Structure 1
């Protein structure tokens, strides 16, 4: 199933020990780029969370934010006395070496990492719940990417259908275009009162037909259109493949335009390029 790289998911749970809130948002990116923002006391979950992301996603910039608010009475502050004493001893040594050093500010001491700790509820339960909620949020994110991916696939298929119609129209126009060019050549000879050389006329028509021959380009356009449809039916990461096919379609449309000898085919080539550019913009969001 076609998946977008753009989605958002949010999960919140409240327990006696506090509140956990997960927010996951993803946008298009060339590769998978996970960004995790976790509370310090839950930082050890990061490795497992990254592995879960790799298992479910292939591309996209994915920002995962976890907020943890301890319940009242669960977050009283406790001083790490051994660490504080070590810090004070070190400060005494500094003041001995530097007599002019100012007195310690207690608030500054408390800001030293690890001196002030939170006597929170058993973190094992909080971590387990955080992992469960992450799984649910990730599943919701994947479902959102799939829904949007399905819509993108439909938009692309609509434009592929329009392209097929244009290719068929150009095929039908070619015989009439060549006949019109032949008649214009005859009229020009008659206007200039030039004696018509049948052999020369045939040579001119052969050259004209060779210049206007876009059958190969039309065949390749049909082939690429069918390949895009086939890729859209595949599962997994298909965005890069689709992007390559958009380049190939655009190349054939440019060649068709350069070989055009009348305004009709030039206009059809322009329409093709418009449709291809619209598809390319959508493809940038596909995983």
Structure 2
């Protein structure tokens, strides 16, 4: 089982380039990937996103990339710098301006700075390797968090099952008390137990309070929930759905027998926590 929350850091080096990559992931309904990196690497972005998609299925994923040249790159285009110096001097002469050499050089340098505009094969491979390394650490982080989530979810569903077993034991006592009250009322009215009015009222209340169907469905949901926990692959949405279904069944059960409200409230609390935790599962 994988959590959608995690952190990964990876680096890679080539002959001329070094890449540092950080990947953070948070909860998300689908897979949402954003990449922050130097603008000259934009041509590599589709491959970066494909690398992430090949490993992750859900989550809000933020990829941050920084690259560093291992060789000294000229900060300016020398030919362009020379041309710009001549251009500034020519304009100064035409306008009859007195411009110092350092000023000429400053303006010429400003418009001669050399920006990286092309990504060679080595740089691309170095960036993608850094992404792979960061993804590997991210997935390991998500697995560790996923195991903690699995343990928590397992304990909560065990708690729900225990409370449900108590409900099963308690409901028979409640039904018996209801039956006794109806028979006491009939006795006060001097009606025999077999009287149609007594029997009809008894059947009506017992049918109205019948929660066998809800109990059966809850037990089925619990069984499926545990199976999904063991499978652990892309089960987040399924676990959330089961949480909603369990909440619906226990609500119906509580409406039928209000005397069970103590157990119903506790089960609903556990289900709410399950739904919150399941929202973190991939």
Q: For this structure pair, what is the TM-score category when the shorter chain's length is used for normalisation? A: 0.7 to 0.9
TM-score, normalised with respect to structure 1: 0.80
CA RMSD of aligned residues (A): 3.2
| Structure 1 unmatched ranges of 5 or more | 93-104
Tell me the alpha carbon deviations over residues 14-73 of structure 1, each in whole angstroms, 9 at most, x when there is no partner: 7785653211000011111111112233332212111111111111111110112345x6
1:101 alignment counterpart: none
Q: How much has 1:267 moved relative to structure 2? A: 1.4
**Cα distance in 1 for residues equivalent to 2:40 and 2:131:** 16
**Cα distance in 2 for residues equivalent to 1:218 and 1:64:** 46
**Cα distance in 1 for residues equivalent to 2:55 and 2:62:** 14
**Cα distance in 2 for residues equivalent to 1:50 and 1:41:** 16
Q: How much has 1:286 moved relative to structure 2? A: 0.7
1:171–1:108 Cα change, 3 Å: farther
Establish whether residue 276 from structure 1 lines up as the match of residue 264 from structure 2. no
Tell me the alpha carbon deviations over residues 236-273 of structure 1, each in whole angstroms, 9 at most, x when there is no partner: 322122221111111101101111142xx121111111
**Cα distance in 2 for residues equivalent to 1:168 and 1:43:** 59
Q: How does 1:199-238 map to 2 (within 5 A)?
A: 199=195, 200-238=197-235
Q: How many residues align?
A: 266
8 A Cα contact 1:80 1:117, kept in partner = no
**Cα distance in 2 for residues equivalent to 1:106 and 1:254:** 79
Q: How much has 1:82 moved relative to structure 2? A: 6.1
8 A Cα contact 2:163 2:267, kept in partner = yes
2:53 alignment counterpart: 54
TM-score, normalised with respect to structure 2: 0.81
2:255 alignment counterpart: 258
Establish whether residue 131 from structure 1 lines up as the match of residue 109 from structure 2. no
8 A Cα contact 2:10 2:137, kept in partner = no
8 A Cα contact 1:212 1:261, kept in partner = no
**Cα distance in 1 for residues equivalent to 2:179 and 2:116:** 93
Q: How much has 1:118 moved relative to structure 2? A: 5.0
| Structure 2 unmatched ranges of 5 or more | 91-103
